[in-house]
Amino acid sequence: MLQTFIDFFTGFIPPWLTCFFISALPILELRGGLITASLLGVPWVQATAACVLGNVLPIPFILLFVRKILSWMGKTKTFGKMASHYEQVALRKGQELVEKYPNRVMFGLFVFVAIPLPMTGAWTGSLIAAFLGLPPRRSFLSVSMGVLCAACIMLLLAYAFPSLMGFHV
């Protein structure tokens, strides 16, 4: 899947912009963007800036509008099932977060986003914050700080230890 995006974008835009767009996509996010940057030979400073900005860009829109969008999508035949699925995932993950960090939900949100595992990025973190009704400004800060921490971890994996990721630069 990642290779398809790389092939599509690199034909007509610079590699750092490819990484920016990949980082803005759900599921791939910053992890996919930094791996792509490493594979394309983008310098790590440029890659980090592009990927962090790309991953942080959707956060305010998700925090402010996702409930309205999913509500609208839930009323359609085409997207109803998908909207319900995302809502259930966000609520389940959110409940786990609140149970694990009952008095420190913002810290839990940061930790959730900071650990670069599947389904723990900025998109899911923002969905959780929106569905839990957390304050948007504090949620944005918490998720953004998690993105920065995840970027540090992924930089080490993608640039310093690429063989751990299963590829060679």
Q: Where are the domains of the chain?
A: 2-55+151-165, 59-149
* The pLDDT value given to residue 164: 65
User: Which residue numbers in the chain have pLDDT < 50?
Assistant: none
* The pLDDT value given to residue 109: 95
For residue 27, how many other CB atoms are within 10 A of its CB?
13
* The pLDDT value given to residue 46: 97
Q: List pLDDT tens digits, range 39-66.
A: 899 999 999 999 999 999 999 999 999 9
* 10 CB-side CA count, 13 A: 16
